Chain A
Amino acid sequence: MQTASLTEYLFMSGLLFAIGLAGVIIRRNIIVIFMCLEMMLAAAALTLIAFSRYHTVNGLPDYDGQMLMFFIITVAAAEVAVGLAIIVALYRARQTVNTEDLTSLKG
């Protein structure tokens, strides 16, 4: 049976990462930018899992890559909780989530 190769998985991961990067550059809503950042993290995770499956140890997948993915998921969840708390605080202070209206640091 024909199966997908490692290169195809890596390419799909790179494509998802590029879409997330495009979203971070194009979008102006800070919540959507945050979602695109999560998507880029997930794309990196796909690369990790693909290499963990490719590099077999004694015929089993290399579980070090999956452990790294496990820690990425945990850190990303903590990051989302803190980031959304910051966004809510920002909205309460400035009444907007549009990055074009948040230019205090520009001087």
Chain B
Amino acid sequence: MPTILFYLFALIMIGGGIGVVALKNPVSSALSMIVSFIGLAALFVGLNAYFVGILQILVYTGAVMVLFLFIIMLLDLKKEEEKQFSSSSIAAGVVIPTLLVLQLIAVFQTSDFGNFQAITPESLAMSEQQLDPSIPADSVIRSSMAAENLADRKLPDVNLIGHKLFNEYNLPLQIIAVLLLVATVGCVALSKKLKAKS
């Protein structure tokens, strides 16, 4: 990603983040959170993680933030707005993150990572050739769209993610499915218990 675009989207992301903290109305906070996550998704796309960028927009800005807005509307928080922040918590909230950022800067000064290797049609041609010894000949990836995309000099992002998810990460995927089921049951149980109480 060119540096100008990187700084543009990073500015959108950081500006949205500051908006979440600084704006008093919770609805404004939620909306600036959406802006921040859109900037973040653009950074993901700039890092060649197209699938994760789309997922970020669909799940976070699409589902999670709508859930937040829904709860804010449900609870009707208008009267909470007038409360002032105490000066000691503002001082702590400025000093501790500033120390964190200063530490990060100090670490980055002593480290030298260098630049990203560019993904170009030539590098994809190289990786198509290097695919051969690492993967057996009867593997799915040979006949899959990943190989075809590599032959067309396109990055087969979603194909490789799907291949990895359903082979190497099959057990975590099923555990995550159980987790989602538990979360659903937990939400229903939390809502139902209070209904019986009132």
Contact = CB atoms under 8 A, between A and B. Distances in A.
A93 B33 CA distance: 28
Interface in A4-44: 4-12, 14-23, 25-29, 31-32, 34-36, 38-39, 42
A68 to B, nearest CB: 9
B117 A56 contact: yes
Contacts, number: 246
Interface in B127-182: 127, 130-131, 134, 155, 160-161, 164-165, 168-169, 172, 176, 179-180, 182
Interface string B67-89: 11001101101001001010001
The DSSP consensus for interface residues of chain B is: helix
Interface of A: 1-12, 14-23, 25-29, 31-32, 34-36, 38-39, 42, 45-46, 49-50, 52-54, 56, 58-61, 63-64, 66-67, 69-71, 73-82, 84-89, 91-93, 96-98, 100
17 contacts: A3-B2, A4-B46, A5-B113, A7-B113, A9-B43, A25-B92, A31-B26, A35-B30, A35-B68, A45-B52, A66-B52, A70-B52, A73-B60, A78-B180, A80-B67, A92-B198, A97-B77
